Amino acid sequence: MRFQLFIYFYFTIVVIAGTNTIQQFSDAGDRLITSLRNLDNNGTYETLTAEKVPIIEGQIQNISAKYEQHTFILKGLEAVLNYKVKSLDNNERESLEIEYEKVEKALDAALNVSPFEYIKKFKEVSRGKVVNALENLSREQNRITINGGREDEKEKEAREKKKRLDRIKRILTVSLLELGLAQGVADLCAVAPFACLLGVTVGSIGFIFWLALIYNAIQ
């Protein structure tokens, strides 16, 4: 009887948690749309807004429906949307046309690029290879040299890599508490300190790289 009650309460909690996650993601979508609308204070882009907002609303609804059984995905995407809202509200933005285009493109990627393929791909790689890859990334991030104020092609490439790594680092920071993926941190901290922000199971690395794809598209 106690076991049955435990099962009942467990599934009740799971259902409630899932419902709350869907609502929180939808709320983040609403805040994003409001922030986009607020960029057009004088109504110059009224036609553009009337065209784009229904598309974005539909994308958010479709994402909620597609991932309603995978709350960790919705929580990650919620973090991305919240970060975008914050950047828009802080005037870290481009033209309204470009911002609508970036949001639409990012949400389209969330719908059509499977996070499960990323997770599967990383699960097929041994933990040793993943840790080694992260170690190499960390080394690349720190290996930037400037000679006489002049950069050669390799140095420019290194800077571009650093920019990409910094973006990944930012999404890790944003997502840590909300994703609840803090597992197996210790073995990674020794080789890639920035990755300590996320406890890394091999599958969760794949998910984070998928999430970084969405993050890069929307920023």
pLDDT in tens, 109-163: 999 999 888 777 766 655 555 556 555 555 655 654 444 444 456 667 666 666 6
Q: Do 107 and 6 share a domain, yes or no?
A: yes
Q: In Å, how far are 5, 126, 129 from 175, measured between CA atoms?
A: 33, 24, 24
> Which of residues 36 and 215 earns the better pLDDT score?
36
Where in the sequence is the domain holding 16, given as residue range(s)?
2-112
Rounded Cα distance between 217 and 219, Å, is 6
Whether the Cβ atoms of residue 130 and residue 191 lie closer than 8 Å to each other: no
For residue 122, what are the contacts with CB-CB under 8 A and spacing of at least 6?
A: 130, 202, 203, 205, 206, 209
Q: Dump pLDDT digits (tens) for 74-85.
A: 888 888 898 889
Whether 123 and 103 map to the same domain: the answer is no
Structure tokens at 142: 């720190």
Task: Assess whether 7 and 90 both reside in one domain.
Answer: yes
